[in-house]
Amino acid sequence: MSHRTSPVIPGFGLTLGYTISYLALIVLIPLGAMLIYSLQMTAEQWWSLISSRQVLFSLKLSFGTALFAALLNGVLGTVLAWVLVRYRFPGRRIIDAMVDMPFALPTAVAGIALTSLYAPNGLIGSLFPFKIAYTPLGITLALVFVTLPFVVRTLQPVLADIPKEIEEAATCLGARPLQVFRHVLLPSLLPAWVTGFALAFARGVGEYGSVVFIAGNIPLKTEILPLLIVSKLDQYDYKGATGIGVLMLAVSFVLLLLINLLQRRLQPQN
């Protein structure tokens, strides 16, 4: 391994060695151990586990709710980011600071609060004739809360960087507001939007604490993928838990690569 430019800067060996050792100890060896453990299963065993009715259902539920929540946040988050960047109005600073609340609030607290809110006798739940908590809709709403900051926080800096003059020029040249949005703003916002969407989706698929309360955990109705791992572990079905864990790990690794790729495409614009 060679290192660049300034031979006067010390600490390359020390910091690289420390970084790799700590990374290996905490992250790589445990994750690797799970992969090795999963090899105790044959491919057919793994496949029959993944394609069992229960796992397939949870897979669809986790991906579906995470997808809907990310899409919903794609809209809500865009509105929030737009308003926070473009307008000055009373309460702007408070909203801006509170957008990070879902990151700072422990997920268990969010979970019980949202369950009370959307339960049939809750503040919002009682307003609707149909059940929200203990249904996929409730899971989606919990994920909306947890992943809202992702879209807002990835869009905000990009929006702030688009010079207003470009929009004004487009307007002067006769573009209508929707045309300005479609042809001027959208192309520059899209990479950031997709990044925020992917971050929200990745978090939503793996989310546990905020969902486990509102889901109600009814098998084949509201049992999410992470919960399936927990219930397999509770039954000492280590292989089953590992099989699902490997699947989730693969999904999150693919999403991570995608996000990194997108962020690299974002950088030249910043």
Partner 1 sequence: MSIASATLAKDSAVRASVQRTPAALILIGLAWIIFAVVLLLPLYIVVTQGLQRGLDVFWNAISEPDAISALKLTLLATGISVPLNLVFGVAAAWCVTKFEFRGKSLLITLIDMPFSVSPVVAGLIYVLLFGSQGVFAPFLQAHDLQIVYAVPGIVLATIFVTFPFVARELIPLMEEQGTTEEEAARLLGANGWQMFWHVTLPNVKWALIYGVVLCTARAMGEFGAVSVVSGHIRGMTNTLPLHIEILYNEYNIVAAFSVAILLLAMALVILLLRQWSESRLSRSLVRDDE
Site for partner 1 in 98-157 (CB under 8 A): 98-114, 116-117, 122-124, 144-145, 148
Location of structure tokens 């339960």: 119
218 binds partner 1 (CB under 8 A): no
Q: Least CB distance from residue 149 to partner 1, whole Å?
A: 10
Q: HSE-up of 53 (CA within 13 Å, CB side)?
A: 3
* Count of residues engaged in binding partner 1, rule: CB under 8 A: 94
Using CB under 8 A, which of 19, 52, 126, 179 touches partner 1?
19
Minimum Å distance from CB 70 to partner 1?
14
Binding partner 1 (rule: CB under 8 A), the pick from 50, 57, 162, 252 is 252
Question: Does 91 interact with partner 1 (rule: CB under 8 A)?
Answer: yes
The Cα-based distances of 120 to 115, 185, 200, 252 in angstroms read 9, 41, 27, 34
State which residue, 111 or 196, has the beta carbon closest to partner 1. 111
Six token digits for residue 236: 């000492």
37 lines the binding site for partner 1 (CB under 8 A): yes
Rounded to a whole number of angstroms, the minimum distance from the CB of residue 175 to partner 1 is 15
Residue 33 CB, nearest distance to partner 1 (Å)?
A: 5
Q: Are 113 and 240 in contact, with CB atoms under 8 Å apart?
A: no
Q: For residue 229, report the phi and psi dihedrals to the nearest 5 degrees.
A: -60, -45
Give the total residue count for the chain: 270
Count Cα neighbours of 242 within 13 Å in the Cβ-side half-sphere.
19
Show the tokens assigned to 68. Answer: 């809907």
| Helical (H) or strand (E) element with 49 | helix 43-50
Phi/psi of residue 89, each to 5°?
A: -155, 160
Subset of residues 45 to 74 that bind partner 1, contact rule: CB under 8 A: none
Structure tokens at 223: 């049992």
- Work out how close the CB of 83 gets to partner 1 at its nearest, in angstroms, rounded to a whole number: 4
Residue 84 as a binder of partner 1 (CB under 8 A): the answer is yes
With CB under 8 A as the contact rule, the residue among 50, 162, 175, 248 that binds partner 1 is 248
